[in-house]
Amino acid sequence: MIVKLWPDGTPHSISIPSLQERPIQAGNQMKFTGVVNPEIHIYQAPKVKATGTAVVICPGGGYEHITFTKEGEEIAQWFNEHGITGIVLKYRLPSDSIMEDKSMGPLIDAQEALRIVRRNADTWGIDKTKIGVMGFSAGGHLASTLSTQCDERIYVPTDSTSARPDFTILVYPVISMMTPITHAGSRFHLLGDSPDTASILRFSNDLHVSSNTPPTFLVHSTDDGVVSVENSVLYFKALRTYNVKSDMRLYHTGGHGFGLAKNGKTECEWPGECLRWMKECGF
């Protein structure tokens, strides 16, 4: 099932009818660029297994494209195997041509996605208190931005439904916009070539952790040559400072972009560890 986020018009957007979404097929993997009409793809858990838990999944791609299959669809299907509804967010990528403020576009979509899921929880067989967010790489930046800025009023919602995730899962996430820790490509696409200090600080999400930040599970490999493991370490330290229930798995190998890690190496343990953590937390 696919649900459009903004059937009545996207807030703070610029309409350019000639712009179209572009799918990129590479073998059995699908990516998207130029997303103009964001949507959520809902993979409902089988009724015989359903736990009531749901996860909104933010695929990565450096805020340049969306790695839809590997970090979206495959993750949702894996969650389904364990009675969890997976909801893949195809969010708008930052663009001055279609957004009044490109740094806010993805977060506006993420907030609305959480609200849509919570509004429709009863219909979709979801527990309103068990709706999490998950993000990979730049999608991890979006998920952690939502987790720390869910109450930011960056558009006018139709009702008072909360956009706060009940828990957060971050896999090799971009967290900081500070050099040299940040991922340069994600920062460039989100904030531009020469962002001001205020923007850098606003989107360095370890600086915005509070006691209201959702419980969080982090995964990273120490040999990640694309997004430094220091991103996860900074976020974990901030969570501990505020006594937010959190756990982190660091692996010696894995590099970047391993998804479900079906390679038999040490990082392939993270999905099972994640499920155990969710169960321990009551999700």
Q: Cβ-count burial of 28 within 10 angstroms (0-12 exposed, 13-18 middle, 19+ buried)? A: exposed
The amino acid at residue 40 is I
Report DSSP letters for 163-186, one per residue.
Answer: ---S-EEEES-----STTTS-HHH
H or E segment and range at residue 189: helix 184-191
> Edge-to-edge strand order for the sheet containing 29-33?
22-26, 29-33, 66-67
For residue 272, give every residue at least 6 positions away whose Cβ sits within 8 Å of its Cβ, in sequence order, or none.
none
List the chain pLDDT tens, one digit each, 283 residues.
Answer: 999 999 998 999 888 777 788 989 888 899 999 999 999 999 999 988 899 999 999 999 999 999 999 999 999 999 999 999 999 999 999 999 899 999 999 999 999 999 999 999 999 999 999 999 999 999 999 999 999 999 999 999 999 999 999 999 999 999 999 999 999 999 999 999 999 999 999 999 999 999 999 999 999 999 999 999 999 999 999 999 999 999 999 999 999 999 998 776 778 899 999 999 999 999 9
Quote the tokens at residue 228. 């430094």
Cβ-contact 133, 165 below 8 angstroms: yes
CATH H-level, domain 48-93+102-280: superfamily:
Alpha/Beta hydrolase fold, catalytic domain (3.40.50.1820)
Handedness of CA 274, 277, 279, 283 (dihedral sign): negative
Which has the closest alpha carbon to 43: 35, 53, 34, 33?
A: 53
